[in-house]
Chain A
């Protein structure tokens, strides 16, 4: 809808600005607390500012171990989700077949139902099948709900990818794999990259399903959760929180710029 030249009423502007401030100020507060000299309480305003907690957090092996596990899980889950999500998106967008709606519902279900259901369902399945907890049980859960992110991004791009491009490629003598490699992949590449980054961010941050599938292992969110429930080292938690914010912001920003430029896909204009 367009209303060029009209200015928004003052009340609306203030309400919108207030709403956005409500969304952002709490996150900014985390950054302030990372520098506070107070280490026993959440006192505001901070009595003094210091950089020493960054050094302390840097020297903590448990934080590094948790970060390492989180990165490993996120990387493998993203890779699995990329393959499964792209296959699903390609199948759903290139043809209409019986059960097509069911396929998209099945992909969306793990994220539409509350995470605790996915978590406890996986856990009871592991216990019935007597599968011991390992990095792979975490990955199994993460990949399941990461598929939908890749799928959504890929489906949107496939929809804009003109079928005549593929036909032209085949007419010019390329086989199916060559067409995929030289025509389809370059066109959907940035959407897959964006989907992969969002999947990575989703997995890196996931805690609810992970608490059910991790056993005794600690991913970074699980480490943070324990600190939230029983605060023992507030300054280190503050620093880790800042690091997590920065690590998740970068892929999200990158994903945004990748899909924004992808609005113009070759062959779309006809």
Chain B
């Protein structure tokens, strides 16, 4: 048995004494641990966000093109002009379409992985979603540029199958069509869908993993057809996962400016408008006001998602 006195004796060495002092003051330790990351995020990130927000209340002098450093809501009024409001509507519509399509496409993969894949297959499914998720964003966009090119693989396959008239019919649809897939909204939509799909699969799978199989069997025992079981048991229980996934697909589509620039028509999305206004046009206040739109939309969206309990599925 160690003598009690030995426990109280201060240990030699500065490091040991510092360690003991910290152990006795958990509050101080916590403070010291949190200070570096909070300083970084607080100054670098929140500081920048605040600077951006402040700029959105400035305005630009129409004659000199200089920024007027007086607080005003004039720049936000600019957002409501038809040309700018169209950009917002276009982006939100695209984000909604991508989210719905991603949910439909993700469901079979997530459901199979959660309910039927076992052992080695399960790992394979997981990697099969993780690798595309983490692989280079630009490479993925580039791959679609190759696919959608007029002389590319999609034309080759459709031509081989004799389906070119179908593609031409699709492209002749007003608004979403165009002269070729790579300059139409359909092309932009496909690339968005491809790039953000893994972000929908993972939370959906996590939610489906938590649906007990016995519930599905019970619904079958009680006479539900597989379709009824899907609609009344599985989907409602998987909903938090869908909402969690949609946070990603929605937010990422709202803020992206590279995909519509590379694949799509020349009509702008929010991200492109921000980039154009802060760059060549030098209208930082309007660019800042534009970025507030996704922040507000995502704020409302996150608030609603939180009420749905979506964060438990992340």
Residues of A within 8 A of B (CB): 1-3, 6-9, 12-13, 15-16, 18-20, 22-24, 26-27, 29-30, 33, 41-45, 80, 83-85, 87-88, 90-91, 94-95, 97, 103, 106-107, 109-110, 112-118, 120-125, 127-128, 140, 143-144, 147, 170, 175-178, 198, 201-202, 205, 207-208, 211, 221, 224-225, 228-229, 237, 241, 244-245, 248-249, 252-253, 256, 260
Contact = CB atoms under 8 A, between A and B. Distances in A.
Nearest to A41: B151
Contact of B278 (A8, A120, A125): A120
A241 B46 contact: no
Nearest to A45: B156
Nearest to A206: B137
Interface of B: 11, 15-16, 18-20, 22-23, 26, 29-30, 33-34, 36-38, 40-42, 44-49, 51-52, 55, 105-106, 108-109, 111-116, 123, 125-132, 134-147, 149, 151-153, 155-156, 194, 197-198, 201, 208-213, 216-217, 226, 247, 251-252, 254-258, 261-262, 271, 274-275, 278, 284, 287-288, 291, 294-295, 298, 302
Q: Which of B15, B44, B198 has the most CB of A within 10 A?
A: B44
B289 to A, nearest CB: 11
- Decide if the interface of chain B is mainly helix, strand, loop or mixed: helix
B288 A107 contact: no
A75 to B, nearest CB: 18
Contacts of A107: 37, 41
Contact of B136 (A22, A140, A248): A248
Contacts of B23: 170, 175-176
Contacts of A94: 30
Given A24-B132, A113-B251, A117-B294, A175 B11 contact: yes
A24 B133 CA distance: 10
Contacts, number: 275
A175 B15 contact: yes
A115 B135 CA distance: 17
Given A113-B294, A249-B131, A124 B40 contact: no
Contact of A29 (B41, B137, B147, B261): B147
Given A19-B105, A113-B255, A124-B51, A30 B116 contact: no
A12 B111 contact: yes
Contacts of B146: 26, 29-30, 33, 42, 44
A111 to B, nearest CB: 10
Contacts of B37: 84-85, 87-88, 107, 147
Nearest to A19: B109
Nearest to B129: A23
B6 to A, nearest CB: 9
A28 to B, nearest CB: 9
A170 B48 CA distance: 42
Given A88-B37, A114-B271, A116-B255, A1 B152 contact: no
Given A26-B144, A207-B137, A103 B112 contact: no
Contacts of B256: 114, 116, 208
- Decide if the interface of chain A is mainly helix, strand, loop or mixed: helix
B145 A95 contact: no
Nearest to B134: A252
28 contacts: A1-B210, A1-B211, A1-B213, A3-B116, A15-B109, A23-B198, A26-B143, A27-B140, A29-B147, A30-B146, A41-B149, A42-B146, A42-B149, A42-B152, A44-B156, A87-B33, A106-B41, A107-B37, A113-B298, A123-B278, A176-B23, A208-B258, A225-B138, A228-B145, A228-B262, A229-B261, A244-B138, A245-B135
B45 A178 contact: no
B36 A27 contact: no
A252 B106 CA distance: 21
Given A30-B142, A244-B139, A6 B116 contact: yes
Contacts of B208: 1
A154 to B, nearest CB: 12
A260 B266 CA distance: 45
A14 B197 CA distance: 18
B277 to A, nearest CB: 9
Contacts of A80: 40
